[in-house]
Structure 1
Amino acid sequence: MGNQHGSSTGNGNSDQRRSSAFDKSKQSSMSSKAYTGSLIKLFEKIEITSDAGNSHPGEISQSTFENVFHGPLHKFGKLMYRQMLNGHSNRDRITKEQFVKAGKEILKTFNESDQQKYYFKLFAAGKDVLTQEDALLMIQVSYALTLSASKFPYTKSDRDDRVFTAMVTSMFGIAEELNYESFVSWLKWNCPHMFCGVHNWVYLILTGSTLPSELETAPVPQLEGFVDGRYCLSMGMLWAMSATLPAAYTHGQTSETPANNPLITSYHLIMKLARLSRCQSWTMLYNSSDHGLSMNRFTHHVTSYHGPSIMLVSFEGRNLYCVANDTGWRDGPDKYGGEECMLLQISPVYRVIQSGEKMMLWNVHTRGLPMGIQIGKMSSSIVLSIPHEFDSVSHYGVACTLNKVEVWGCGGSSAKDAQTKQKQWEAKDVQRCAQRKLNLESKDWNENPDKQILDWAGIKGGHSYQRE
């Protein structure tokens, strides 16, 4: 009986597997047909832009293909053309069949591992290694494409160039070339979502529609009231951080994501189950240039904000650090911080220094312990320490001149609204207490309850106390 039961169950599982395989095959076929139609339409649109006319129907010349890509993307067009011809850059035309086949290969790279392989090969121009020049182009193009996919106007400043150079320095060290394994190792720790914006843009171009929000891994946050050049934060820096920081800083709270749902096994399940909210906006909480380098002012502006936030610390030596705090600022004698806390050095080298729990210490009131802000998981080797006076910063124990501090709230409008309401309640409570004290002082001393307490102690009332 037991064996019969087991056999029956096995047949059922087998039937389920065949049904599942059929469904996946059917879904894949449907996707393939949709992609084919979109790619053919795109090919025909590009084909009619040929300056020389349509002398070769069903084919696109290399120059026609590359001219679709303008400005900072022109070099990307050259690399894309070569990639779509599988490295045969000596061919000066691409057929409709080649274009559709290559486009479908790109559109199937949904997971980040496949994207990393594809775009490494693309930017390496068919080589087995990246040069520093290749890597810088990769970063610059990834930034430009991400802005375009996020519908931000393209902008790039000298500070962005410094960030991009810092990323290349971090990636290569003293080496002149980087193989795929070393590149992926660097990406995994320092910038895991570099190609998300690139793939979003490519998906948009090839299909004529935006990548479903369920698949957007690292959108660039909106900055409320941002003026480029006024803050430590720049657009290039914002892009780099959005490709590095955990989703808590760029997405809203979500009850179910691909990372924690074991049922998600395919693109179509992701489409149905992973309801990621749109990108959060970041809002300025504290800016030392406007509010002053002061612990009191810092405390006033960051308390009662319970969403995640990032703090930028600029100090001598062109050093710029980002402290990503996932739990809100907590004054006390104990270290705090959740799993998504992170400390990044942005310049002169872009790298993740530490990440994980209990990395933050902010002590304003507890006596007997160092006052100020300390960042670092090991008490014996604190990375950053800002004293209560806010007049310097200790960097691995070396005192440095503190230039600027910024705190951006990453919890969206709900976290900022909650902070505003709390601040308003606190202001009203202070006003009520002041009014109550004023009323008590203005009353007849003989009717004041404090007089009776003093009388019981044998002290005569009035402002001149005399004991009997």
Structure 2
Amino acid sequence: MGNQTTRSGIASQRKLESASSTANAAPCDVTRSETDHSSYTEFLPIESLTKILVHLAHEEEHVNGITKSVFQKYLFPTHPELSEKLFSYLHHNAQATTTYISTTAFKQQAEKFLSVMNDQAILENYIKMYSNIKDGGNVTPETLKALLMCCYQLAMENNSTSMCLRSEQIINAVVVSCFHGKNSLSTNYVSNWIGQHCPRMVHGLQRYVVHVLTTAYRSGKALLSKEQPQPPIEIPTPVLEKSNLEFPQTNLLPISFVWLLSCTLPQCYLQTNDSPKDVTHALIARRTGSICPRHWTLLYNSGEHGTGANRFLHHVLGYRGPTLLIIRAASVERDEECATYCVCSTVEWRESHLYWGDEDSMGIQLTPSYKIIEKGPKILYLNTNIRGYPHGLRLGSDPRSPFISIDESFHSVSIAGAPYRIASLEVWGCGDTKLREKQLEIKKWQVKEVEKQRVVKLSASDWLDHPDRYLLELAGRASYNESNN
């Protein structure tokens, strides 16, 4: 078309071509396309989907529109609760007076739903979708828990380790922290709280819904109702649901905790150059997003590597990438687990008498309530040998009153001034495999240097004047024979 001056007819043709090219794009790119709000009938995927749904509703229920049962059966057969919430949300926004949605209203609301680009606005839409719309739009603990469980189940449906016994605990921790004992909250407050403490909570859910609405028409009149269920595919994660048989008292980071941390942490903890090699894993990652990091590696586990500052420093120092320190605290009076915290560092751990860390360093409480404690530069402290300064590990911007303080023996921890016994410590490296390999190479070099220092070769003349010879003689050790001397 060049740079010619376009008339209205040519401009309309350009819009149709743009919509057609958008339909052939990837599902994750559809959300980034721009739709023309003045005319909702030019978006080809929604146009084709609407025609199929109207035809099915007319055949099965003799209705000139789109019903809830058809919407659920042919678009979300495996997620009935999500289907009901989404249909009710579109039905409410369309201000429909009937139980079904008319053809024009469905196209308008579906395209309007897909045109939202802002992350916070997308989050608000899902909070409203799961809220009690008929009761004023307030959010209850039950409705928020249903949304969180839907996000978690969708993220784990293609993972063979989806049965996590701790998922209920971590989801309840988010609900408890958000509501503070209240029975209901406004949608604005809940969306702002989720956006602050776990901003990527609904990213996987949004990608899945966009994928269904924009690609279901490609399957023909059957849509997704006859879609064959895929066998469970294990997406490699650093999580081990089973305890180590040699150390049965230790439990590594559950996959539900990894999922929630992935919704909270900055991208520097999640991004990696290692992409899925096979096509199946690539498609899953494209549809639902990088739910669980595949590159996290366990650097230190107190149950396996031993407790103490020396053990911690030996396994952690030298790793030049982001790390997560998981602290499980147990009450002094009882042996049961009390609380779990996560100390996040984007830079290499170092021993210093000064506080360090950048703007992405943070502290997170995982259980019994989930929230970001503090985030920002210079909130981390580690010192085990510099005299005249406090020893141990600390988290907090106030040196006089740090929120988390581990003693120099790494056996007890103080959290908000309350003492606890440390049940276990874990450190996970969040960098790529090259960083881990470099750390191991440095450790091998250090071991070789120590072995060299142990073997000291002395000549005969040096040994005659060596202080150790005189000490041995003073202790009663007989002198060496004259031939050797």
Q: TM-score range, shorter-chain basis?
A: 0.7 to 0.9
Distance 1:41 1:334, change over 3 A: same
Pair 1:89–1:404, CA change in 2 (3 A): farther
Equivalent-residue separation in structure 1 for 2:98 and 2:427 (angstroms): 52
Aligned to 1:267: none
Given candidates 69, 74, 82, the residue that maps to 2:76 is 69
Q: CA deviation at 1:249?
A: 0.8
Superposed CA deviations along residues 3-50 of structure 1, whole A, max 9, x for unmatched, are: xxxxxxxxxxxx9xx9xxx99x96897247734333355557778988
Shift in alpha-carbon separation, 1:54–1:358, aligned structure 2, 3 A: same
Instruction: List per-residue Cα deviations over 1:340-370 (Å, max 9, x = no partner).
Output: 0111111111111111011111112212333
Provide the C-alpha distance between the structure 2 equivalents of 1:28 and 1:138, rounded to a whole number of angstroms. 36
- The CA deviation at 1:142 is 1.9
SS of structure 1 residue aligned to 2:400: helix
Does 1:86 pair with 2:106? no
Q: For 1:414, which of 409, 413, 434 is the aligned residue?
A: 434
Task: Please say if 1:109 is aligned against 2:116.
Answer: yes
Q: Please, which of 432, 450, 460 is the counterpart of residue 445 of structure 1? A: 460
For the structure 1 residues 154 and 75, does the alpha-carbon distance in structure 2 shift closer, same or farther, using more than 3 Å as the test? Answer: farther
**Is residue 144–residue 154 contact of structure 1 (8 Å, CA) maintained in 2?**
no
CA distance in 1, matches of 2:266, 2:122: 19
Which residue of structure 2 aligns with residue 30 of structure 1?
A: 18
TM normalised by structure 1 equals 0.74
- Whether 2:313 is the aligned partner of 1:299: answer yes
CA distance in 2, matches of 1:289, 1:76: 41
CA distance in 2, matches of 1:421, 1:397: 40
- The Cα offsets for residues 296-332 of structure 1, whole Å up to 9 and x where unpaired, read as 2211111111100111111125211111111121112
Q: CA RMSD in A?
A: 3.6
2-side partners of 1:242 and 1:84: how far apart? 29
Question: How far 1:97 moved relative to its partner?
Answer: 4.3
Cα deviation, 1:185-206, whole Å, max 9, x if unaligned, reads 3123312222212112212222
1:177 and 2:197 correspond:
no
CA distance in 1, matches of 2:169, 2:471: 69
Q: Which residue of 2 aligns with 1:201?
A: 208
Q: How far does residue 143 in structure 1 lie from its aligned partner after superposition? A: 1.8
Change (3 A) 1:366 1:146: same
Match of 2:146 among 115, 124, 137: 137
Determine the structure 2 residue equivalent to 1:241.
261
CA 1:204/1:228 → structure 2, altered by over 3 Å: closer, same or farther?
Answer: farther
Alpha-carbon spacing, 1:416–1:44, altered in 2? closer, same or farther (3 Å): farther
Contact 1:316 1:401 in 2 (8 A): yes
CA contact (8 A) 1:32 1:104 kept: no
SS in 1 for 2:299: strand
2:91–2:100 Cα contact (<8 Å) kept: no
1:66 CA drift (Å): 2.1
Cα deviation for residue 226 of structure 1 reads 2.9
Change (3 A) 1:335 1:130: same
- Return closer, same or farther for 1:76/1:460 CA change in 2, 3 Å cut-off: closer
**Structure 1 residues 404 and 27, CA, compared in 2 at 3 Å: closer, same or farther?**
farther
Contact 1:280-1:410 within 8 A present in 2 as well:
no
Work out whether residues 239 and 255 of structure 2, in 8 Å CA contact, stay in contact via their aligned partners in 1: no
CA contact (8 A) 2:322 2:431 kept: yes
Counterpart of 1:381 in 2: which secondary structure?
coil
Matches within 5 A, 1:238-317: 238-252=258-272, 281-316=295-330
Identity %: 24
Give the secondary-structure state (helix, strand or coil) at the position aligned to 1:193: coil
SS in 1 for 2:343: strand
C-alpha separation in 2, matches of 1:287 and 1:32:
54
Q: What residue identity is the alignment partner of 1:316?
A: A
Quick one: which amino acid aligns to residue 226 of structure 1?
A: L
**C-alpha distance in structure 1 between counterparts of 2:255 and 2:242, whole Å:** 8
3-state SS of 1:349 partner: coil
2:181 maps to amino acid? I
Where does 1:13-28 land on structure 2 (aligned, <5 Å)? Answer: none
1:339 deviation in Å?
0.7
Give the length in aligned residue pairs. 397
- The reply to whether residue 369 of structure 1 matches residue 357 of structure 2 is no
Tell me the amino acid that sits aligned with residue 318 of structure 2.
S
Give 3-state SS (helix, strand or coil) of 1:404's partner. strand
Residues 223 and 283 of structure 1 are in contact (CA less than 8 Å); yes or no, is this contact kept in structure 2?
no
Q: Quickly say closer, same or farther: Cα 1:247–1:54, change in 2 above 3 A.
A: same
Q: Distance in 1 between matches of 2:254 and 2:179?
A: 24
Separation in 2, partners of 1:367, 1:27 = 71
Residue aligning to 1:161: 168
Identify if the C-alpha distance between structure 1 residues 123 and 424 changes in structure 2 by more than 3 Å, giving closer, same or farther: same
Give the structure, 1 or 2, with the largest relative contact order (CA under 8 Å, sep 6 or more). 2
Is the 1:156–1:235 contact (alpha carbons within 8 Å) kept by the matching residues of 2? no
Partner amino acid, structure 1, of 2:170? V
Letter in 2 for 1:411: G
Residues in 1 aligned to 2:306 and 2:393: alpha-carbon distance in whole angstroms: 16
